[in-house]
Amino acid sequence: MHCRTCGDKAVINMRQHKLALCKTHFLTWVPEQVERTIRRYRMFTHRDRLLVAVSGGKDSLSLWRIITGLGYTADGLYIGLGIDGGLAYSARSLQYAQSFAQQHQLFLHIVDVQTEYGETIPELAERTHRGRHKPCSVCGLTKRHVMNRLARQGSYDVLLTGHNLDDEAAILFGNTLNWVGSYLIRQAPVLEADRPGLARKVKPLCRMYEREMGAYALLAGIDYIHEECPFAAGSTSIYYKELLNKLESDRPGAKLSFYLSFLQASRSGLFSPSADERADLVHNCPECGQPTSAPGRCIFCRMFVVHEDKLEYNGIDLI
Ligand code: AMP
Ligand code: FES
Ligand code: ZN
Ligand code: ZN
């Protein structure tokens, strides 16, 4: 197999694009694709201050590398979740994020959930009974809250996450299987800051296959945590990814066209807000200021109520 650009030996064959490339041309092709996505969806410009949420994994570290390589100014944010146990998953992923930042002389914010809010994610899940064995939903909610808070406090224009096409297609698959209209209308490459207290969020890797990002990290020499979060094993999102990969291997390009057709349908107004998405039901949490449709305080602020004695929020004692 030969590189389409120079004819040298190819290192990757992307059947979905009918494209094989050598290392040099693959390492220029990936940033070009990301830049096209940034422009196509009007994600941000060179004047914007960007905040990249970095988990220490291949996607978010590659994203940070790619956008700074393209000349954008971007700080990083790592959220310490306290998922440690025998594998020291959080401690090790922090090390990868920190050494990447040092190596490339980039600024990394570190928010440790236990230090700031008094409990690790597994402890929080246990106490609130919101997933004693699988803290993933509590974890997702906390990450979204912290990302939004940091983006606003630091006056960043845009928050970037490393979700790739496989992530987006798996989320979409779950949302269409269960036909969750309110999630479908909020799934997009760009989420505008259309409510007070909300940061603008974008996913510049949404058109990149996970396989392409894995190859990029490897070929670009990016050191990242290879293990998944220990709680991810057996998750529905991994199951959906496997199903979609089966489809993809028989029909190259199926994942991309599933996602892109959805975006097209979405633009043409196929999905409309459900009752709980209606703007008149959303208000700002009196505690943290972030938008919520829950009555009174948002779910995040309620989760921490029992530990008020330990809790300091944004530097203000709550009791
Ligand atoms: P995940 O939800 O683990 O699939 O991660 C999706 C994206 O969320 C990643 O690409 C990162 O941009 C961001 N992210 C996940 N975990 C963290 C973390 N601990 N700290 C900062 N950002 C994270
Ligand atoms: Fe949050 Fe696994 S439970 S990363
Ligand atoms: Zn080449
Ligand atoms: Zn709140």
Nearest alpha carbon, ligand 2 atom 2: 229
Tell how far the Cα of 35 is from the centroid of ligand 3, in angstroms. 20
Looking at beta carbons, which pairs linking 95-104 to residues 24 or more positions away fall under 8 Å? Answer: 95/56, 96/56, 96/61, 96/223, 96/224, 96/225, 97/54, 97/55, 97/56, 97/61, 99/223, 100/54, 100/61, 100/64, 100/65, 100/222, 100/223, 100/224, 101/76, 104/64, 104/65, 104/68
What burial letters (b/e) apply to 108-145, b meaning 16+ CB within 10 Å? Answer: bbebebbebbbbbbbebbbebebbeebbbebbebbbbb
Nearest alpha carbon, ligand 1 atom 16: 55
Query: Helix, strand, coil proportions of the chain in percent (round to 5)?
Result: 50, 15, 40
CA dihedral over 263, 264, 265, 266, signed as positive or negative: positive
Backbone angles phi, psi at 82, to 5 degrees: 75, 30
Residues with CB under 5 A from ligand 4 (ion): 285, 287-288, 298, 301
pLDDT of residue 318: 40
Whether 59 lines ligand 1, by a CB cut-off of 6 Å, is yes
How far apart are alpha carbons 166 and 178 in whole angstroms?
Answer: 18
Nearest alpha carbon, ligand 1 atom 10: 162
Tell how far the Cα of 21 is from the centroid of ligand 3, in angstroms. 5
pLDDT of residue 227: 92
pLDDT per residue as tens digits for the range 163-205: 999 999 999 999 999 888 778 888 999 999 988 889 999 999 9
Indicate the pLDDT class of residue 253, thresholds 50, 70 and 90. Answer: very high
Indicate the pLDDT class of residue 280, thresholds 50, 70 and 90. Answer: low
Best residue among 139, 147, 225, 237 to mutate for probing ligand 2, ranked by most atoms within 8 Å of CB: 139
- Tell which atom from ligand 1 comes closest to the C-alpha of 161: 12
In the predicted model, is pLDDT for residue 157 greater than 90?
A: yes
Copy the structure tokens of residue 136.
Answer: 């993933």
Tell how far the Cα of 224 is from the centroid of ligand 3, in angstroms. 26
Over range 90-116, report the average pLDDT. Answer: 97
Q: Which of 38, 33, 32 is nearest to 52 (CA)?
A: 38
In the predicted model, is pLDDT for residue 80 greater than 50?
A: yes
Higher-scoring residue by pLDDT: 75, 313: 75
pLDDT of residue 179: 86
Nearest alpha carbon, ligand 1 atom 3: 55
- 12 forms bridges with which residues in the sheet? 21
Copy the structure tokens of residue 306.
Answer: 């029992």
Q: Give the SS3 label for residue 21.
A: strand
How far apart are alpha carbons 313 and 308 in whole angstroms?
Answer: 10
- 110 forms bridges with which residues in the sheet? 78
Higher-scoring residue by pLDDT: 124, 280: 124
Higher-scoring residue by pLDDT: 27, 84: 27
pLDDT of residue 305: 60
Which range among 25-29, 111-115, 159-163, 181-185 shows the weakest confidence by mean pLDDT? 181-185
Q: How many CB atoms lie within 10 A of CB 54?
A: 31
Copy the structure tokens of residue 297.
Answer: 């305080």
Whether 202 lines ligand 1, by a CB cut-off of 6 Å, is no
How far apart are alpha carbons 44 and 59 in whole angstroms?
Answer: 19
pLDDT of residue 32: 98
Indicate the pLDDT class of residue 134, thresholds 50, 70 and 90. Answer: confident
Higher-scoring residue by pLDDT: 290, 131: 290
pLDDT of residue 315: 42
Ranges of beta strands (E only) in the chain are 12-14, 19-21, 49-53, 73-80, 108-112, 158-160, 190-191, 201-202, 283-284, 291-292, 312-313, 316-317
Whether 224 lines ligand 1, by a CB cut-off of 6 Å, is no
Amino acid at 317: D
pLDDT of residue 185: 85
pLDDT of residue 307: 45
In the predicted model, is pLDDT for residue 100 greater than 50?
A: yes
Q: What is the pTM of this model?
A: 0.93
Higher-scoring residue by pLDDT: 128, 54: 54
pLDDT of residue 131: 60
- Tell which atom from ligand 1 comes closest to the C-alpha of 229: 3
Whether 232 lines ligand 2, by a CB cut-off of 6 Å, is yes
Q: What is the mean pLDDT of the chain?
A: 91
pLDDT per residue as tens digits for the range 306-317: 444 444 444 444
